[in-house]
Amino acid sequence: MIATVIGLGLIGGSFALALKDKGLAERVIGVDNDPNHAAKALELGLVDEVLPLEAATEAADLIAIAIPVSAIPITAIKVLNHVRHQIVMDMGSTKEELCEVIAQHAKRNRFVATHPMWGTEYSGPEAAVKGAFSGRSVVICEREASDPEAVSMVEDIYHTLGMPIIYMEPEEHDLHAAYVSHISQVTSYALALTVLEKEREDETIFALAGGGFESTVRLAKSSGEMWIPILLKNKYNVLDVLREHIHQLQIMRRMIERDDAEGLRSAIGRANSIRRIIH
Amino acid sequence: MIATVIGLGLIGGSFALALKDKGLAERVIGVDNDPNHAAKALELGLVDEVLPLEAATEAADLIAIAIPVSAIPITAIKVLNHVRHQIVMDMGSTKEELCEVIAQHAKRNRFVATHPMWGTEYSGPEAAVKGAFSGRSVVICEREASDPEAVSMVEDIYHTLGMPIIYMEPEEHDLHAAYVSHISQVTSYALALTVLEKEREDETIFALAGGGFESTVRLAKSSGEMWIPILLKNKYNVLDVLREHIHQLQIMRRMIERDDAEGLRSAIGRANSIRRIIH
């Protein structure tokens, strides 16, 4: 198989590496708007050659789109316009608008909408890592809108990468993603800003930063170029979760203010039940 | 040296293990209010024997207090009341009240106030791990109030455990700890509660939970028994940070509401500079 990967950053670069590493593609063609990224991806061996979008689409059996979510719908349409037998998939973090935009395209059946639940706080071709994705879930949306043969090919790839597959409708996906991914990003950015704000008064404020801080603030290193489109495309879900999260913080604040150890015990007892979910 | 460790949970248990592992103590005596914890610590080999507080104090050269911060000041006084030549140290996460309470004790000079910046989200003797503390900082407060020989002994122990030592006044310590440790705990609990609240409507909400979520919510597994006293003892600092954090979240919320990509780009750009601090 010949694969084309559009967007050679963290996700696309890691996917290109995985396709070759697992023997899924003999050749991987890269496409990237940024010539520096394209050159870097070639230099790092993430892809075998770099071509313009149209040529890369025509030369491939599978085209994977791994660019910021704000650019996915239009790019998906452009790619589908050139498609004959090929299969097209995307790897973006929001699904509702994409599925709506491609719904009536004559080649909709050649498209598989996916979201592999993997990432790191780094970006660009240098962030691509071998062994990415393994053990993480992947969501496929609107499976019934894609040709069974197209879905099978994409499922086989994700199986080979060691990813359990979950099927969801786009609306359901975007809601879930807001709760278990997008909100973590917002709180992490806000926490970094809180402490950096204090640092302007007291430059030694980080002297004690340890493992707990690092864990909650790590995501604040993530690129705005990737995350701003996600937060804005998934705006209503993100705002809902953010409202609830601020409410929970205000409840804890009031309990601390009032020395309400009993209330804190009950709230923390409930929070502890997250142990069921993450081990 | 014979060491006594009071409180055989995550911190005390790991410290007892480290003292033996590094050859710093030939014998470690344990003290714990909870007979199940004491029995478990013996069974796990964290300590060589278990004694009541007074006997354990008298039998040891070094007494380390590793119990919830609400109980440290009184226990410190009780231990100091029995001290002749011994050195006493604590390992608690807040320092202001403790230093105030012991300030005028006749044996204040035998006490070293410390806070090793290490922990995990687990608790109890089973949470004790070999190799804990290594590479993390430790704070020593009011060094000048302790005998130089007592400070030296404690410094030697922490050096042997591979911990860089930072000297701070208690007020400064508590402020810093609120910013880079205690707030992470509060946001993590609140985030867990936010998502668990949603789970009551939609029980599959966690289907997509991945690495980013796990990282920001991991601390929500931590025990209230340890953390409630910390949040309440460090109440004013924690409330200040919490106020600023909620303010930062509200700013991000408004920018998302208004599709203010430019504002988000600037805020996230500033948040990204946390890369200077955590690598």
Under DSSP, the state recorded for B206 is T
Nearest C-alpha neighbor of A228 from the set A180, A171, A182 = A182
Confidence tier at A7 by pLDDT (50, 70, 90): very high
SS3 (DSSP) at B168: strand
Smallest Cβ–Cβ distance between A268 and the set B181, B224, B273 belongs to: B224
The residues with which B166 forms a beta bridge, in sequence order, are B139
**A279 to each of A273, B152, B214, B217, B229, how far by Cα in Å?**
11, 40, 9, 11, 25
From the CA of A2, how many Å to the nearest CA of chain B?
30
Q: Is A262 on the interface with B (CB under 8 A)?
A: no
**B36 to each of A123, A147, A227, B43, how far by Cα in Å?**
49, 61, 48, 10
Is pLDDT at A205 greater than 90 in this prediction? Answer: no
Give B-chain residues touching A224 at CB under 8 angstroms: 264-265, 268-269, 272
> Average pLDDT of chain A?
96
* Strand B138-141 with B165-168, pairing: parallel
Region of poorest pLDDT, from B78-92, B142-156, B196-210: B196-210
pLDDT digits (tens, 9 = 90+) for B41-86: 999 999 999 999 999 999 999 999 999 999 999 999 999 999 999 9
Cβ neighbours of residue A89 under 8 Å, at least 6 residues apart? A62, A63, A64, A65, A111, A112, A113, A114, A154
Confidence tier at A262 by pLDDT (50, 70, 90): very high
Phi, psi of A260 (to 5 degrees): -85, 75
**B162 to each of A51, A130, B25, B131, how far by Cα in Å?**
52, 32, 16, 10
Confidence tier at B277 by pLDDT (50, 70, 90): confident
Work out the average pLDDT over B93-101: 98
pLDDT digits (tens, 9 = 90+) for B147-198: 999 999 999 999 999 999 999 999 999 999 999 999 999 999 999 999 999 8
Instruction: Give me the interface pTM, i.e. the ipTM.
Output: 0.93
Work out the average pLDDT over A193-201: 91
Q: How far apart are CA B10 and CA A269, in angstroms?
A: 18
Is pLDDT at B243 greater than 80 in this prediction? Answer: yes
Region of poorest pLDDT, from A194-208, B7-21, B50-64, B260-274: A194-208
Nearest CA in chain B to A192: B271
Q: For residue A29, what is the enclosing H or E element?
A: strand A27-31
Is pLDDT at B210 greater than 90 in this prediction? Answer: no
Classify burial at A114, counting beta carbons within 10 Å of its beta carbon; exposed 0-12, middle 13-18, buried 19 or more. buried
Smallest Cβ–Cβ distance between A214 and the set B243, B257, B278 belongs to: B278
Is pLDDT at A166 greater than 90 in this prediction? Answer: yes
From the CA of B244, how many Å to the nearest CA of chain A?
6
- Among left, alpha and beta (phi > 0; psi -120 to 50; other), residue A133 is left
SS3 (DSSP) at B278: coil
Smallest Cβ–Cβ distance between B274 and the set A192, A224, A274 belongs to: A192
Show which of residues 189-208 on chain B sit within 8 Å of chain A, judged by CB atoms. Answer: 189-198, 202, 204-208
Q: Is A134 on the interface with B (CB under 8 A)?
A: no
Region of poorest pLDDT, from A79-83, A165-169, A196-200: A196-200
The residues with which A166 forms a beta bridge, in sequence order, are A139
Q: How far apart are CA B191 and CA A87, in angstroms?
A: 39
Q: How far apart are CA B72 and CA B64, in angstroms?
A: 11
From the CA of A278, how many Å to the nearest CA of chain B?
6
Rounded to a whole number, what is the distance in angstroms from the first to the last CA of chain B? 38
Number of A–B residue contacts, CB under 8 Å: 291
